[in-house]
Amino acid sequence: MLNASMVVAQKEAVDGLRDVRSVISSLLYALMGPLVVGLVSLSKAGSDGKVIGAMMSIFTLVAAFVGGMNVAMDAVAGERERHSLLPLLLNPVRRLDIVMGKWLGVALFAVAGFLVNLVGSAMVLRMPPLVWLPAALGLLPLPLFAAALQLLISTVCRNVKEAQTYLSLIVFLPMGIGMFLVFFPAANRAWCSYLPVVGQQLQLQALMSGGRVPLLGTVALGCLTAGLALLILVATANRLQRDEIVYGN
Amino acid sequence: MIQVQNLRKSFGRRTVVRDLTFAAPNGAITGLLGSNGAGKTTTLRMITGVLQPEAGTVRIDEAGGDASALDRQRRLGALLDHQGIYTRLTVRENLAYFGRLRGMPPEVLGASVERVVRTLGLEPIADRRTAGFSQGERMKTALGRALLHAPQNLLLDEPTNGLDVLTVRSLREILRRLRDAGVSVVFSSHVLEEVRALCDRLVVISAGSLVAEGSPTEICARAGTACLEDAFVKLTTAETAAC
């Protein structure tokens, strides 16, 4: 029932926006990359544009995971901790619809964090909209995937503290992948472009270093990433069916 | 009307509900009585469909025993032991969220929220965010959520835990009004005083099994005791010894 998912998504969005501290911390992270790199590039005349672009790409990749992190940990682990998940599950709504709604709510913040960072980076690099806008569209499955993964982890956790521990660790995944590809470009193989997260890092690196992002590759990677996100959402809904979801606090 | 037949549930090797059968008729408050860990909460959770029974059926109103959990949830209102509410939403927003989840049209939802706010005396706090609410205010908000769609069947799991005397009395009054309106109310508790004050019928369970069913007077007569407390101890101790 799409309607129920939208009701859940709307509630998550309102709830998330009212958590002012989380919104500010996500926004600060999203802006940190462009600000830091902007200051560094201004202060060091003749800086290597390729290295700066590569560093910015890591910030953008991580921004997709940071934007919705607080909302994700609150969406299920927070509900378990506050004892509001059971009342939610008492409603005649399928678990998959609840998960889809929560995912849409988390994804809203993840996409916002990702776009704020990407647009900020594009401004620092003086990139024309005709270059970054299509790339941004092609990369949108990344924050959607990040939101799905974070929601699954939040569903496994019993409280916000536990979720915070695991979700903070998950942020190291894109950070590690990004740094590895920046410092060891020789490790890159053709098939790496089709791996979720790795492929997006390569695209961001190319975009921010002034290179080309192939359209077909972007579409294929986007479909693969979105497909994986969907599978994760189904796994999350299955997880919500288990007995320990309503016990174990 | 709620009819439970041969309900069974285990967690691992531990069976917590064993072939439990009872009925909760309309226009009556049925008390589910048992000591801590007797299986009351698990039974209520199976009735609401959040836990799947291993065996047995739950029939609500005219819906058959094979009705899906979602069908049962449409016919039920429940205030289980978890009274969590959303602290960044106001009382009205909390209620409206659950009404929308149940697919209530906007005009019906608005009127229902106002009815519940009025019935439960929530007017002074209805537009306040619920963070920092007292136990009683949280319970009333959670009860409002369970009553919003005017269910014909209402399940309450130890709703008076941690409440002050005035709030308990006001809750009893609300439940009696619902009973008089023909609602089937199932009320679980291990506090005998509370059960005696409120319930028309009792279902006594021990170690997941039914040990007695009937009015408080009938239960006392069956146990051969003058007071309910003695009857409860006699019945549940005998059952535990038999296990």
Give me chain A's average pLDDT, please: 89
List chain A domain ranges. Answer: 2-243
% of chain B with per-residue pLDDT over 90: 65
In a domain, B136, yes or no: no
Sorted by sequence, the CB contacts under 8 Å of residue B173 that are 6+ apart come out as none
Query: What dihedral angle (degrees, nearest 10) is formed by the CA atoms of A221, A224, A229, A235?
Result: -160
Sorted by sequence, the CB contacts under 8 Å of residue B43 that are 6+ apart come out as B4, B7, B17, B20, B32, B188, B205
Rounded to a whole number of angstroms, the distance from the CA of A39 to the nearest CA of chain B is 38
What mean pLDDT do residues B68-77 have? 91
The confidence band for B166, taking pLDDT boundaries of 50, 70 and 90, is: confident
Which residues from A are below 8 Å from B84, CB to CB? 79, 82-87
In a domain, B112, yes or no: no
B128 touches chain A (CB under 8 A): no
Which residues 169-208 on chain B approach chain A with CB closer than 8 angstroms? none
Which residues from B are below 8 Å from A87, CB to CB? 78, 80, 82-85, 98, 142, 145
A83 touches chain B (CB under 8 A): yes
In a domain, B10, yes or no: yes
Could you tell me the two tokens for B22? 């009872």
How far is it, in rounded angstroms, from Cα B230 to Cα B192? 10
A246 vs B45: CB contact, 8 Å cut-off?
A: yes
B86 closest CB neighbour out of A15, A89, A93: A15
Pick from B104, B130, B70, B96: which is nearest to A11 by CA? Answer: B96
User: Quick one: closest CA in B to A16, which residue?
Assistant: B88
What mean pLDDT do residues A213-226 have? 90
B86 vs A84: CB contact, 8 Å cut-off?
A: yes
B76 vs A90: CB contact, 8 Å cut-off?
A: yes
Enter the ipTM. Answer: 0.91
Which residues from B are below 8 Å from A8, CB to CB? 101
The confidence band for A48, taking pLDDT boundaries of 50, 70 and 90, is: low
Q: Can you give the pTM of this predicted structure?
A: 0.91
How far is it, in rounded angstroms, from Cα A201 to Cα A175? 10
In a domain, B234, yes or no: yes
Query: Edge to edge, what strands does the sheet with B209-214 contain?
Result: B76-79, B153-157, B184-189, B28-33, B201-206, B209-214
Tens digit of each residue's pLDDT (9 = 90 or more) over A88-102: 999 999 999 999 999
Range ranked top by mean pLDDT from A86-90, A175-179, A194-198:
A86-90
Tens digit of each residue's pLDDT (9 = 90 or more) over A111-123: 999 999 999 999 8
The confidence band for A37, taking pLDDT boundaries of 50, 70 and 90, is: confident
- Picking from A91, A95, A100, A243 by the largest number of B CB atoms within 10 A of its own CB, the best residue to mutate is A91
How far is it, in rounded angstroms, from Cα A173 to Cα A168? 10
In a domain, B98, yes or no: no
Rounded to a whole number of angstroms, the distance from the CA of A243 to the nearest CA of chain B is 6
Which residues from A are below 8 Å from B102, CB to CB? 91-92
Tens digit of each residue's pLDDT (9 = 90 or more) over B9-23: 999 889 999 999 999
B16 touches chain A (CB under 8 A): no
How far is it, in rounded angstroms, from Cα A145 to Cα A143? 5
The confidence band for A31, taking pLDDT boundaries of 50, 70 and 90, is: very high
Quote the distance between the C-alpha of residue A245 and its chain's center. Answer: 25
Which residues 185-204 on chain A approach chain B with CB closer than 8 angstroms? none
User: Quick one: closest CA in B to A98, which residue?
Assistant: B101
How far is it, in rounded angstroms, from Cα A72 to Cα A160? 10
Give the CATH number, domain containing residue B39. Answer: 3.40.50.300
Q: How far is CA A153 from CA A26, A240, B26, in A?
A: 19, 12, 43
Which residues from A are below 8 Å from B103, CB to CB? 1, 3-4
B159-196 burial: b if 16+ Cβ within 10 Å, else e: bbeebeeebbebbbebbeebbeeebbbbbbbbebebbe
Rounded to a whole number of angstroms, the distance from the CA of A65 to the nearest CA of chain B is 24
- Tell me, what's the pLDDT at A209? 82
In a domain, B129, yes or no: no
- Picking from B17, B93, B101 by the largest number of A CB atoms within 10 A of its own CB, the best residue to mutate is B101
Pick from B80, B21, B92, B23: which is nearest to B51 by CA? Answer: B80
Which residues from B are below 8 Å from A89, CB to CB? 50
Asked if A5 contacts A101 with a C-beta cutoff of 8 angstroms, the reply is yes
- Tell me, what's the pLDDT at B243? 46
The confidence band for A191, taking pLDDT boundaries of 50, 70 and 90, is: confident
Give the domain extent around B190: 2-82+152-242
B133 touches chain A (CB under 8 A): no
A238 touches chain B (CB under 8 A): no
Number of domains in chain B: 1
A18 vs B88: CB contact, 8 Å cut-off?
A: yes
B51 touches chain A (CB under 8 A): yes
How far is it, in rounded angstroms, from Cα A34 to Cα A90? 45
